[in-house]
Amino acid sequence: MIDTGAPIRSLRRGAVALLAAAAVYEAVARSGMFPAALFPTIPTILATLVDMLADGSMLLHAAYTLYRVLVGFGGAVLIGVPLGVLMARFAPVERFFMPLVTALMPIPSFSLVPLFMLWFGIGDVTTILIVLYAATFPITINTWSGVRAVNPLWLRAAGAMGADETALFRKVIIPGAFPFIITGVRQAFLRAWIAVVGAEMIAASDWGLGWVIFDSKEFLNTDVMMAALVVIGLLGYVFERLVFGAVERATVLRWGMVRQAKG
């Protein structure tokens, strides 16, 4: 049923699709249908990207964005995981925080940007807080449902074998809830990544990938814009696939809690 040619054919078709899309884009860009300033050719975009990487400005933009996203996201993990665990283990905590979480979660983080700009000014504080706001809820909710989903049989078995609270927590609850926590962290990172770009566009500072995209609109530097888009996409991909993929492999996959999903 599975013939060995299939993966190669998939790869070839994938490459064909990407090349075809690039060719169509290139043809449109060169045909002069649209002003060249709005529709730069792919070589122009690549040249801009290389230039900006070489003079270090793109790296600095990326570094600022990464700093903001990682600080905000780290804060979200530090708040979200303990809060989720507490909510799942103690009913009063759940009763107090669940209505708040349910009410705050549907507020898009961007709608707070103008407010935070008034309160905290333009720059790092505002962007980091927006990231924090965007990332905390998925982590909290997933940790909460993960801890609640831990098989009660495991808890009773561990209890019967004489595990105390700490051991129960460290050896059963956290590993049991980990697949959910990882999923929450991944979702949270995606949201944080979106939030940082948006927040940088609106609460503009002088550096950051979101800012550079928005700023280059003013000067019709579409090539800079596209180059920054590429960097944003690559960085997001690296985090999503490589970093979280590695974490997942080192924990839940190794523990045999979930199976490797395809693709």
CA distances from 119 to 2, 50, 101, 135, 195 (A): 60, 38, 22, 20, 18
Nearer to another protein, 172 or 201 (CB): 201
- One character per residue 40-79, x = contact with another protein (rule: CB under 8 A): ----------------------------------------
CA distances from 205 to 75, 173, 199, 215, 221 (A): 21, 43, 10, 10, 18
Segment holding 235, helix H or strand E: helix 222-237
Segment holding 98, helix H or strand E: helix 91-104
Q: Is residue 194 part of the contact set for another protein (CB under 8 A)?
A: yes
Nearer to another protein, 172 or 210 (CB): 210
Q: Is residue 16 part of the contact set for another protein (CB under 8 A)?
A: yes
Please report how close the Cβ of residue 168 comes to another protein at its closest, in angstroms.
21
* 90 C-beta neighbours (distance < 10 Å), count: 11
Q: Is residue 121 part of the contact set for another protein (CB under 8 A)?
A: no
Please report how close the Cβ of residue 4 comes to another protein at its closest, in angstroms.
15
Q: How many angstroms separate the CA atoms of 126 and 215, rounded?
A: 18
> Would you tell me which residues interact with another protein (CB under 8 A)?
9-10, 13-18, 21, 34, 38, 91, 94-115, 117-119, 138, 141-142, 144-145, 179-180, 183-184, 187, 193-194, 197-198, 201-202, 209-210, 213-214, 216-217, 220, 222, 225-226, 228-229, 232-233, 236-237, 240
